[in-house]
Amino acid sequence: MKKMLWSLCLMGVAAPVSAAFFQQKADEQSEAKTESPVKVNVQGADDALADNVRALLPSLRALKCDSPAERVARFIESSDDKLQEAAEAMGYYDARFNVTPVRQAQCLALNVAVAPGEPVRVTDVKVQITGDGKDLSVFRELTAAPPYRVGDVLVLRQYEDFKTSLGRAATSNGFFDAEYITRTIEVDPDTLQAQVHIHFDTGKRYRVGKVAVKQDVLDDKHLQRFVRVRQGDVYEADAIRKQQQLLEGASYYSEVLVSSDFEQAVNGEVPVNIEAKRRKRYSYTGKVGYATDTGAHLETGMDIHWVNAKGHKLNARGSVGQDQQSAEVTYKVPLWNPEHEYTSLGVGWKQSDNGDIESRATKVGVDYNRRNKSDWQQTVFINYLDEITQVNGEAATKAQLTLIGARVKKTKVDDTPFAGNGWTLGAELQGAQQGVLSDQSVLQAKLHGKRLQTLSNNGKVIVQANLGTTLTDDLNEMPKSLRFFAGGVNSVRGYDFESLGEKNAESEVIGGKHLLTGSLEYEHPLVDKWSAAAFVDAGNAFDDSRNLTMKVGAGFGVRWKSPLGKLRADLAVPKDDTRDMHFYFGLGPDL
């Protein structure tokens, strides 16, 4: 019985075709197609075998429509070994080929008739992993999913892909001395059976050596809060990559380079070098814009990316618009886990007027923020609010409140800024007690949720809801910033911004203690980056649920995936008066 032993450990014997080789040949064939008018027609083979035959044929660049018969004959003769190689790579060791030149569309063409025969099937697979990494989950998973199961056709690419996965797992986890003890494929052409044996020894696992950081922004004490790769840790490529991402996300540096070279290892420890180049310390922003709800506005901002060697930050923002003006300064202090834990002190001023009710508010607050392992953003805060609220034709009321509260929020999305599926959920609870640096008692809760789902036809369904409730004695004593209003592009389309809520005797909207809004939208793809949308919104702000009247608005719009994000343009009408058309314009992600 004649057997064929294929092993990369032996010299002078045939070696399996690598995945890279497949791709190289495919690339060459693609290039040949663009440079030669000669077509290759493969008959008698399935798609996979036909594609591999085309990929491994010699380049067609030397053939033209009018190539002489001698040149065509030499090409066909030189193709014999390549055709056999293409067949064996797909498991056909008894394949026969007949290449015939023909005229097709006034040009030369090659008809390749294939009689593949029966394929070689795998009858025995042994994968063994030894060394320090044998019990790691990544290697256990690879062992549990060998390149073949008994009865599979011997497609060599699966063998090469499996070896590539072993090599990547070893390199990524610090097994730089890994080697193959055995890697063989034994093929018996008579019985069309194959045995595959792989013995991979990971060797010892390297560790992280000296970690050297070169930067000039943070002092050493605060820099160490950003350094998570420590000498003595087991080497993991993912940890090195995350270290780089952590420093890049700190916003102190314009470029971060993290390198490690196992060839420089000493006593099994790989040195890690980090070089971070500082960014510009100050940055300024300014823009002129238009929002459907608030009209034209001018915004300016300044960021100090590090105030001192402790990495503290400061940003200032200002906005002037038709209906509101605001200014805010925030001082941010990174804490022990600075990528997701910080505290901040903020001072802000805001004046707003929606036509019926006006307010002027000053707020000073401090908060603590963290993101937990489940990616929930958590905040606890204390805000002191001094606000004057005035309804047209009525005396102004002043409120001084010390609000203590907490909020949580999480967004899970598959692909920003053009998300296909995802959701966001947020909740907030805050309150003040009369006599405790407050002139009234109030307790308020808010809940917001949004769900995005892409259907099988690539259409999208977007559902969202907003709930709010306030416990307080008198709505008229509440500052405007704590009152609920509905209406507008992010609330109930078909109604003006903050035009829905309780009304006074003069029919002026004064807001409400409670809020309930919901929206259902369907977006249907049109062409390229364009889609159409239809929606229904409903809701209101109210003082007593027994007197709740849900206002309904509906409309349609278009969406465009612009380089800056999703652009929206909507037309909506209220159910109360379908002749009252409202236009809305927006830019930003769905989630």
Q: Does residue 152 fall inside a structural domain?
A: no
Q: What's the Cα-to-Cα distance from 473 to each of 434, 468, 478, rounded to whole Å?
A: 11, 16, 9
Q: Is residue 184 part of a domain?
A: no
**What confidence tier does 287 reach under pLDDT thresholds 50, 70, 90?**
confident
CA distance 507 to 560: 39
Same domain assignment for residues 564 and 518: yes
- What pLDDT score does 418 carry? 86
Q: In the predicted model, what is the mean pLDDT of the chain?
A: 91
Name the token pair of 222. Answer: 């605060």
Q: What is the CATH number of the domain that holds 86?
A: 3.10.20.310
Residues 404 and 545 in one domain: yes
Give the torsion sign (CA, 84, 90, 93, 97).
negative
Residues with Cβ within 8 Å of 203's Cβ and at least 6 positions away in sequence, in order, are 131, 132, 175, 176, 177, 178, 179
Same domain, 576 and 441: yes
Identify the band that residue 30 occupies on the pLDDT scale cut at 50, 70 and 90: very low
Last residue of a domain, one of 255, 278, 301: 278
User: Tokens 């440079």 label which residue?
Assistant: 35
Residues 421 and 357 in one domain: yes
Amino acid at 542: F
State which amino acid sits at residue 116.
P
What digits encode the pLDDT tens for the residues 145-182? 999 999 999 999 999 999 999 999 999 999 999 999 99
Let me know whether 406 and 524 are in one domain: yes
pLDDT digits (tens, 9 = 90+) for 330-345: 999 999 999 999 999 9
- Other beta carbons within 10 angstroms of residue 538's beta carbon come to 19
In a domain, residue 501? The reply is: yes
Q: What Å distances lie between residue 335 and 226, 330, 379, 404, CA to CA? A: 10, 16, 14, 21
Q: What's 496's DSSP letter?
A: -
Burial of 112 (C-beta count, 10 Å sphere; 0-12/13-18/19+): buried
Residue 139 is assigned to a structural domain of this protein: no
Per-position DSSP letters for 244-295, written without gaps between them: HHHHHHTSSEEEEEEEE-GGG-BTTEEEEEEEEEE--SEEEEEEEEEETTTE
Residues in the chain: 591
Answer with the one of 115, 146, 168 that is the final residue of a domain: 115
Question: Pairing relation of β-strands 502-503 and 460-471?
Answer: unpaired
pLDDT at 452 over 60: yes
Q: Which domain holds residue 261?
A: 207-278
Query: Residue 405 belongs to a domain with what CATH number?
Result: 2.40.160.50
- 20 band by pLDDT with thresholds 50, 70 and 90: very low
Coil, strand, or helix at residue 172?
Answer: helix
User: Quick check: is 187 in a domain?
Assistant: no
Return d(Cα 461, Cα 535) in angstroms, integer.
10
Per-residue confidence (pLDDT) for residue 9, from 0 to 100: 34
Stretch among 20-34, 220-234, 315-329 having the lowest mean pLDDT: 20-34
Same domain for 305 and 218, yes or no, is no
Predicted model pTM: 0.79
Q: pLDDT value at position 468?
A: 97
Other residues' Cβ atoms within 10 Å of the Cβ of residue 219: 11
Q: And the tokens for 289?
A: 């814009």
User: Would 372 be classed as within a structural domain?
Assistant: yes
Phi-psi label, residue 360: left if phi above 0, alpha if psi -120 to 50, beta otherwise: beta
- State yes or no: pLDDT of 7 exceeds 50: no
Q: Is residue 5 part of a domain?
A: no
Per-residue confidence (pLDDT) for residue 10, from 0 to 100: 28
Tell me what pLDDT residue 33 has.
43
pLDDT at 24 over 60: no
The answer on 350 and 256 residing in a single domain is no
pLDDT for 184-193, tens place per residue? 999 998 999 9
Q: Are 494 and 575 in contact (CB under 8 A)?
A: yes
Residues 409 and 485 in one domain: yes
* Tally of structural domains, the chain: 3
Q: What is the DSSP string of 91-158?
A: T-SS-EEEEEEEEETTEEEEEEEEE--SPPEEEEEEEEEESTTTTSHHHHHHHHS-S--TT-B--HHH
One domain, residues 429 and 488: yes
Are 231 and 342 found together in one domain?
no
Look at residue 397 and tell me if it is in a domain: yes
* Last residue within a domain, chosen from 76, 96, 115: 115
Same domain, 461 and 491: yes
pLDDT tens column, 71-103: 999 999 999 999 999 999 999 999 999 999 999
Residues 429 and 496 in one domain: yes
According to DSSP, residue 400 is labeled: E
